[in-house]
Amino acid sequence: MHRIIDHPSDFLVEGKNRTFEKTLEDVAEGMFTQMGKAGEKDTIEIESEKELVEDLVIDVLSKIIAECEIVPFTPERAEVGKTGEKSVRVRIHGERKQPENIIKGVTYHELLVKKQDDGWIIRVLFDI
Model pLDDT for residues 87-121, shown as the tens digit of each residue: 999 999 999 999 999 899 999 999 999 999 999 99
Contact of 97 with 72, CB cutoff 8 Å: yes
Q: What does the pLDDT look like over 63-88, one tens digit per residue? A: 999 999 999 999 999 999 988 889 99
Task: Check pLDDT > 90 for residue 56.
Answer: yes
Helix/strand/coil percentages in the chain, nearest 5: 25, 45, 25
pTM given for the model: 0.93
pLDDT at 4: 72
pLDDT at 128: 87
**Omega before 99 cis (within 30°)?**
no
Model pLDDT, residue 10: 87
Check whether 38 has a pLDDT greater than 80. yes
In words, the CATH class of domain 2-127 is alpha beta
Give the model's pLDDT for residue 34: 93
Whole-number pLDDT of residue 28? 97
Residue 6 has pLDDT above 70, yes or no: no
Domain edges within the chain: 2-127
Which residues, in sequence order, are CB contacts of 70 under 8 Å at separation 6+?
Answer: none
